[in-house]
Amino acid sequence: MVKLFNNFVGNPKNDILSGLTVALALVPEAVAFAFFAGVDPMIGLYGAFMMGLITSLFGGRPGMISGATGAMAVVMINLINKGNEVGMELAQPMENLGLQWLFITLLIVGAIQISAGVFKLGKFVRLIPHPVMMGFVNGLAIVIFLAQLDFFTTGEGDAKTWLEGTPLYIMLGLVALTMAIMYFLPKLTKAVPAALTGIVVVAAITILFKVDVATVGSFIRDGGGSGLQGSLPEFQFQIFTLFDTMAGNWGLVLVTALSLAAVGLVESLMTLNLVDELTETRGSGNRECVAQGSANIVNGLFGGMGGCAMIGQSIINVNSGGRGRLSGVVAAVALLMFILFGAPIIEQIPIAALVGVMFMVVIGTFAWSSFRIINKIPLADLLVLIAVSAITVWKDLAIAVIVGVIMSALVFAWQNAKRIRARKKIKEDGTKVYEIWGPLFFGSVTDFNAKFDPKEDPEKIEIDFMESRVQDHSGIEALRNVANKYLDQGKQIKLTHLSPECKELLMRRNPEFETIIETSVEDPRYHIATDLMDAEV
């Protein structure tokens, strides 16, 4: 409880200032992702507020920021479009039915994510290899960078063109000024967040000198929104009367819910892992799963678009000094205040200032060390790093991480499959001893079987597992088959230094093996840490 209390009051000044900085950076991203998903920008802003508040209060990583994200917006598009089509085909046509379907889907998403936390699946983020992490941050940095380039264009759709002449030079100048402030100010003082200072200075310049630039307000209106002004989120009673409209489309709803839950958890847990490294502290993956799920349920009930952890805003928060839960709470509450009371002011903030902040996030996110270690890491790890980076840019984060983990697992399995060895020696009584070295699992079974010759071996055989371990069912079956081949030849065989688990599995299939398994105080015992204790956060 003391640590939890300290997360709110331990560093209030930095947490409050960094929270305000994050809130300003959340506005254009939440609006942009809402436009991308095909929903009203206020839905994105509500989603960012509710996700941010709940995960900051109850999540597993103080200082981590959650909100509406592009990774989840991509998955929502098909469901929303299909729902809108069905709505227009009803006897009494219903506009924005796809949005109502999204709210219902978020309830399922939340239930899945909470279940992942309850069953302690969040711990598996610790199994993600370092090359996958480096590929993840590199790919995400590129994605964030490419997303900012859209602000250097004008027009819509096919008519969109790059800025030219004076508008381009003004945009570049303001972006450069913001980046310069963020780079040099910390060298002079860390009393105020550099990102917030950069935004305030650039905004003051454009307002005082009446510089004609794109602002948050113009960005929202150009996208079809009516502005930032709004009210409190309202309970969506109507969604409980719309289940019949989903008849015939529950498959799409469930698939979308599973995809949203997976993408949200992968991105959130990867961000948690990254913030852990930046702050040299440890968060709770399982607690974060429950918080993310609860936030998505609240989004479904109160009309937000849902979301997950946001790596860009999380890095802004950490770099600005926000390490406690208060920073996330301030960011969420400030975002709501912008919606309720501060729209006229916030809408005047130039997009260039926010782009400059995100460019600095890109520079801070990208793992530049990956260039220095190209010739110093195994080729397989390099290929994993490049593949994860490329797939993150090409597809999305969840697919990239899954592919990276599978690639790493296959490389690990192949390398270990080649390590099985059998040292052979003959005892004074004529017993031939096979001293097995290396893991026995599905990948090494073939090599293991090839090391024995039941027909030509002497009458007494001993297979010693002191320096080996039977890893899986394939290994158990291989050992059982080898033992049975010797027994079928009428020869004596003895299995030594097996773990208790392996003995139990062998005798379950072949009770008579009790006579050939030798038990010793030297037998290995493998204690696997299946559930590390979550940190108190």
Helix segments in 347-396, DSSP class H: 351-365, 369-372, 379-394
In a domain, 406, yes or no: no
Same domain, 96 and 183: yes
535 pLDDT more than 50: no
Identify the bridge partners of residue 517 per DSSP, sorted by sequence position.
Answer: 495
Q: Each residue of 1-36: pLDDT tens digit? A: 555 556 666 688 899 999 999 999 898 888 888 887
**Using one digit for the tens of pLDDT, what is the confidence trace for 222-240?**
877 777 888 899 999 999 9
CA neighbor of 272 nearest in space, from 320, 328, 314: 314
CA angle at 26 for the pair 288 and 339, rounded to the nearest 5°: 110
315 and 424 part of one domain = no
Per-residue pLDDT, averaged over 487-493, amounts to: 94
Q: What is the pLDDT of residues 183-229, one digit of tens each?
A: 999 999 888 888 999 999 999 999 999 999 999 988 888 877 777 88
| Mean per-residue pLDDT, 142-163 | 86
248 and 372 co-located in one domain: yes
- Count of C-beta atoms within a 10 Å radius of residue 406: 12
pLDDT of residue 5: 56
User: What is the chain's mean pLDDT, rounded?
Assistant: 89
Q: Which residues contact 412 (CB under 8 A, 6 or more apart)?
A: none
Q: Which residue has the higher pLDDT, 174 or 74?
A: 174
Mean pLDDT to the nearest integer, 504-533: 72
* Segments forming the whole domain that contains residue 89: 15-148+159-390
Three-state DSSP class for 479?
helix
**Same domain? 379 vs 436:** no
Q: What pLDDT shows up at residue 4? A: 54
Whether residues 368 and 473 share a domain: the answer is no
Specify if 60 maps to a domain: yes
Pairwise CA distance, residues 151 & 140, whole Å: 18
Label each residue of 204-247 as H, E or C.
HHHHHCCCCCCEHHHHHHHCCCCCCCCCCCCCCHHHHHCHHHHC
Q: How confident is the model at residue 416 (pLDDT cuts 50, 70, 90)?
A: confident
Residues near 531 by beta carbon (within 8 Å), at least 6 away in sequence: 120, 123
* Position 534 in a domain: no
Verify that 442 and 354 share a domain, yes or no: no
pLDDT for res 461: 95
Residue 530 lies in a domain: no
Residues 40-62 have a mean pLDDT of 94
Distance CA 298, CA 47 (A): 9
The answer to the question of residue 382 being in a domain is yes
The pTM score is 0.79
Pick 300 or 519 by higher pLDDT: 300
Residue 534 has pLDDT above 60, yes or no: no
**Residue 2's pLDDT is what?**
52
Q: How many domains does the structure of the chain reveal?
A: 2
526: pLDDT strictly greater than 70: no
Which of 390, 406, 433 represents a domain boundary (last residue)? 390
- Provide the residue count of the chain: 537
pLDDT of 73: 87
Backbone angles phi and psi of 270, in degrees to 5: -65, -40
- Which token pair is 330? 């301030």
Same-domain check for residues 333 and 429: no
Residues in contact with 308: Cβ distance below 8 Å, sequence separation at least 6, in sequence order: 51, 66, 69, 71, 72, 263, 264, 265, 267, 268, 292
Percentage of the chain surpassing pLDDT 90?
59
* Cα–Cα distance measured from residue 117 to residue 434, given in angstroms and rounded to the nearest whole number: 45
Average pLDDT over residues 307-311: 92
Residue 484's CATH number? 3.30.750.24
Q: Which helix (H) or strand (E) holds 368?
A: none
pLDDT digits (tens, 9 = 90+) for 510-522: 888 888 998 887 7
Express each pLDDT in 79-133 by its tens digit: 999 999 999 999 889 989 999 999 999 999 999 999 999 999 887 777 788 899 8
Tokens encoding 107: 């309830």
For residue 347, which of 488, 480, 218 has the smallest C-alpha distance? Answer: 218
Residue predicted with more confidence, 128 or 246: 246
Please give the residue that has the higher pLDDT: either 166 or 227.
166
pLDDT, average across residues 453-467: 94
CB neighbours of residue 233 within 10 Å: 21
Determine the residue type at 307: G
**Whether residue 48 has pLDDT greater than 70:** yes
Share of the chain above pLDDT 70, in %: 95
Task: Say how far apart CA 394 and CA 42 lie, in whole Å.
Answer: 28
